[in-house]
């Protein structure tokens, strides 16, 4: 086995990354689907007892990440400690050649936390088979591009602490201030669970404030796993909200690296969506002397939506999933070298250029992904065209004030929906208006449920609630949007979420 030479390492930072670079949550050794975790907690099962299912799920999502993105940033440890990854290069053959090519082409980019080289001896327990295979592979490479936050050790340590560890700690400290009703909807909880949710978030916040090292392992020990057990075993307590807290904290943990390098988190299917993190700009208070009124605030909303690329990316890619069962890595690499894949990528870049045009641009992304799926089916000699149906996204931009709401609905036929009015008894009071952005598949769900998948974009202080509210409604009507009083008939048309019933 040839040793890895230092001159083969190409050092890169986030400026050299491709635009559509992702960190795949599925490679996290704690990741498990929402459905499987519920089964584990109910049946008191550990990770070892559901390992086959976990590995199948992770493998499908790993291949999906390589198909759906330009680059996949992978924590160095996963290359040799996760068999989902090292199974491709452990033995000679077409999979090893494909894996080596993906490293050569910088499709797979090792992320180094503090290491100076991908060959550095780990300071933690390793999978012996994976480590041996990784060292052999490194010896065969001419070069390998690796990513760090900084290649200056002192600066890298500061950036790691500030952008990853401190951000995760700050998230735990902020949980107590989350909007509980929005969070319980994201978590799939009933309204009756709010008191318990409030208490649990308070306990987490207090623990994080009193703990010198409030990391994920400590959180697992304190709130999730059986006392005295190793978090890596996945023996979870049968206690209220264990599964929900795990999903929420795992989501933030797995978004720290993509946020630090200013790229995207690829969140797996059947996992908590990024909207649950309640990321939003700070509240803006409109001063009485400030000109522009609601019209100016809507302009600011559009500007803010342009900054929502991580959320738009997650919303766009969540339905982009095809059955990859039985496919190998070399099939996915072949698919990447097609006009269909390049067309899909261009459409995704266009959507990220302007998330506010989600309906039109999102549909192009989806259509081109269907074409890519068909091309992949041709490559593997199977017919998979029936795996996906037409997607009809609906965008809602909603302003809520004291129970009244106004929604601009974009689904190919833009319209305005008004629900309620600001009550007379609070008409002259100041109030907070919440602006939300949501993208959903068109179906029969009511507006309030659609908004559960949305993002709180901005909060604006209105000094005279009723007067400002009516001015806002008047401005929207002047914009020429037809006014409706609620959901319309075409919201029940078939779509990917609810296909047409056979007759």
Same domain, 351 and 446: no
Same domain, 328 and 427: no
Phi, psi of 390 (to 5 degrees): -65, 135
Same domain, 128 and 59: yes
Answer yes or no: are the C-beta atoms of 34 and 272 closer than 8 Å. Answer: yes
The answer to whether position 226 is within a domain reads no
Per-residue b or e along 78-88, where b marks 16 or more CB atoms closer than 10 Å to that residue's CB:
bbbbbbbbbbb
The residue among 130, 153, 176 that closes a domain is: 153
The answer to whether position 196 is within a domain reads no
What pLDDT does residue 245 have? 97
Same domain, 299 and 404: yes
Question: What domain range includes position 413?
Answer: 279-307+393-492
The answer to whether position 449 is within a domain reads yes
The answer to whether position 407 is within a domain reads yes
Question: In total, how many domains does the chain have?
Answer: 3
Which residues are paired to 409 by β-bridges? 396, 415
Question: If we measure between CA atoms, which residue out of 427, 429, 326, 334 comes closest to residue 379?
Answer: 334
Answer yes or no: are the C-beta atoms of 231 and 28 closer than 8 Å. Answer: no
Measured distance CA(197)–CA(3) in Å, rounded:
53
Same domain, 459 and 338: no
- Give the three-class secondary structure for 209: helix
Tokens of 61: 């999502």
Measured distance CA(52)–CA(130) in Å, rounded:
18
The answer to whether position 456 is within a domain reads yes
**Pairing outcome for strands 284-285 and 71-75:** unpaired
Tokens of 323: 């059955």
Same domain, 381 and 476: no
**Pairing outcome for strands 284-285 and 455-462:** parallel
What pLDDT does residue 282 have? 41
The answer to whether position 414 is within a domain reads yes
Measured distance CA(82)–CA(470) in Å, rounded:
57
The answer to whether position 209 is within a domain reads no
What pLDDT does residue 370 have? 85
The answer to whether position 340 is within a domain reads yes
What pLDDT does residue 292 have? 52
**Per-residue tens of pLDDT for the chain, all 503 residues:** 567 778 899 999 999 999 999 999 999 999 999 999 999 999 999 999 999 999 999 999 999 999 999 999 999 999 999 999 999 999 999 999 999 999 999 999 999 999 999 999 998 889 999 999 999 999 999 999 999 999 999 999 999 999 999 999 999 999 999 989 889 988 999 999 999 999 999 999 999 999 988 999 999 999 999 999 999 999 999 999 999 999 999 999 999 999 999 999 999 988 998 888 987 644 444 443 445 554 555 555 555 555 567 777 887 787 787 777 778 999 999 999 999 999 999 999 998 887 767 777 887 888 898 889 888 888 877 544 444 444 556 777 777 777 777 887 776 667 788 777 766 555 556 677 777 777 665 543 333 333 345 566 666 777 777 777 777 777 777 767 777 765 433 333 333 333 334 33
Same domain, 358 and 417: no
What pLDDT does residue 50 have? 97
The residue among 387, 402, 428 that closes a domain is: 387
Same domain, 476 and 376: no
Same domain, 70 and 127: yes
Measured distance CA(292)–CA(104) in Å, rounded:
54
Same domain, 285 and 404: yes
Same domain, 326 and 397: no
Same domain, 20 and 147: yes
């Amino acid at each position: 086995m040839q040793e890895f030479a230092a001159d083969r390492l190409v050092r890169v930072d986030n400026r050299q990354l491709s635009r559509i670079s992702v960190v795949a949550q599925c490679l996290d050794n704690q990741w498990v689907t929402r459905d499987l975790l519920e089964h584990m907690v109910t049946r008191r099962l550990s990770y070892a007892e559901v390992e086959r299912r976990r590995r199948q799920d992770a493998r499908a999502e790993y291949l999906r990440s390589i198909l759906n993105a330009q680059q996949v940033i992978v924590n160095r440890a996963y290359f040799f400690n996760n068999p989902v990854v090292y199974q491709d290069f452990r033995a000679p053959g077409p999979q090893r050649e494909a894996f080596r090519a993906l490293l050569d082409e910088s499709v797979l980019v090792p992320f180094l936390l503090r290491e100076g080289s991908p060959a550095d001896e780990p300071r933690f327990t390793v999978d012996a088979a994976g480590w041996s295979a990784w060292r052999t592979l490194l010896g065969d490479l001419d070069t390998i591009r690796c990513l760090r936050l900084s290649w200056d050790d002192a600066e890298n340590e500061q950036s790691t602490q500030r952008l990853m560890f401190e951000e995760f700690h700050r998230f735990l400290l902020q949980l107590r201030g989350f909007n509980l009703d929005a969070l319980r909807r994201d978590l799939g909880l009933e309204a009756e669970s709010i008191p318990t949710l409030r208490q649990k978030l308070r306990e987490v916040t207090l623990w994080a404030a009193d703990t010198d090292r409030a990391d994920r392992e400590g959180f697992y020990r304190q709130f999730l796993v059986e006392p005295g057990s190793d978090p890596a075993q996945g023996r979870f307590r049968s206690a209220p909200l264990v599964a929900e807290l795990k999903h929420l904290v795992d989501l933030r943990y797995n978004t720290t690296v993509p946020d630090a390098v200013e790229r995207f988190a690829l969140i797996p299917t059947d996992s908590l969506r990024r909207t649950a993190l309640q990321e939003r700009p700070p509240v803006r208070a409109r001063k009485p002397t400030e000109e522009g009124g609601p019209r100016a605030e809507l302009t600011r909303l559009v500007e803010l939506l342009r900054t929502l690329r991580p959320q738009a990316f997650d919303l766009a890619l969540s339905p982009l999933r095809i059955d990859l069962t039985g496919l190998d890595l070399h099939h996915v690499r072949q698919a990447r070298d097609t006009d269909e894949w390049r067309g899909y990528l261009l459409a995704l870049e266009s959507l990220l250029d302007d998330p506010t045009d989600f309906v039109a641009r999102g549909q192009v992304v989806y259509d081109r992904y269907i074409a890519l799926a068909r091309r992949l089916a041709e490559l593997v000699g199977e017919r998979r065209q029936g795996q996906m149906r037409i997607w009809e996204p609906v965008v809602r931009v909603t302003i809520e004030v004291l129970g009244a709401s106004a929604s601009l609905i974009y689904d190919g036929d833009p319209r305005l929906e008004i629900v309620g009015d600001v009550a007379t008894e609070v008409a002259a009071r100041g109030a907070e208006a919440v602006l939300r952005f949501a993208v959903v598949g068109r179906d029969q769900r009511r507006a309030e449920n659609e908004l559960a998948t949305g993002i709180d974009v901005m909060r604006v202080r209105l000094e005279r609630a009723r007067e400002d509210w009516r001015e806002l409604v008047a401005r929207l009507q002047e914009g020429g949007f037809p006014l409706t009083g609620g959901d319309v008939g075409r919201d029940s048309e078939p779509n990917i979420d609810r296909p047409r019933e056979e007759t």
